[in-house]
Structure 1
């Protein structure tokens, strides 16, 4: 697929976030969505990452906590997709998957909810 720069990739991620159902965001608090070119190890295998503590595993969580992060990696997405339509679909799947980790859901639960 053609090279999509950082700004354009971020626009695609925001567009896909806007298309997600409202119920996915109902309990989502203190989460930053960010894009990066590649994971720290430089691989192209990881499309996204949830960094934080899932709601199901949190004890006391309050003021002063750094936000959890959901990271989408641009270069692995581009390497995995041949068209912009495929890229949009993969961004969507990655967002749903990582948001699911925030809620503590496994893949089976995501399918039950219709999120994957």
Structure 2
């Protein structure tokens, strides 16, 4: 009798969050110091309001999103507001993972670093360098 491979299930939100937190932990200083107050949220998909605001029709097209003011745009005169947030969209991430064959850890690191880059107002080249420093 042959052995069957164990059942494999898509990673749940807790697993995605754990991978994202590990990616955040690998981001070097001076960036890491400014990420302590950023809230990380894992949701199945972006909501309709978010998709509409971004002009995106397909919810699978958005894997992550940064909400907040970039660090350089904050000042003592900025009023009380929601904390900066990084949203990761689980189903879109899983879809991209399957389509691309990129490792899930590497994909999540890429998306997290990209969203962190928005937090700092970084260019694409700067984000690429940060991604390399974060071990993606």
Q: Which bin holds the TM-score, normalised by the shorter protein?
A: 0.7 to 0.9
> Which stretches in structure 2 are left out of the alignment for 5+ residues?
1-7, 49-57, 132-136
TM-score using structure 2 length: 0.70
Instruction: Choose from 49, 68, 81 the match for 1:52.
Output: 68
- For residues 60-99 of structure 1, the C-alpha deviation after alignment (integer angstroms, 9 at most, x for no partner) is 236x432110111111110011399611111101111111
Alignment RMSD (CA, Å):
2.5
Of structures 1 and 2, the larger Rg is shown by 2
Q: How does 1:1-116 map to 2 (within 5 A)?
A: 2-28=9-35, 30-41=37-48, 43-59=59-75, 60-61=77-78, 64-82=80-98, 86-111=103-128, 114-116=129-131
Relative to structure 1, the CA distance from residue 9 to residue 27 in structure 2 (aligned partners, 3 Å threshold; closer, same or farther) is closer
Give the structure 1 partner of residue 134 of structure 2.
none
Q: 1:6 to 1:27 in 2, by over 3 A?
A: closer
Segments of 4+ in structure 1 off by > 6 A? none
Structure 1 residue runs without a partner (length 5+): none
* Structure 1 counterpart SS, 2:60: coil
TM-score computed with the length of structure 1 as normaliser: 0.80
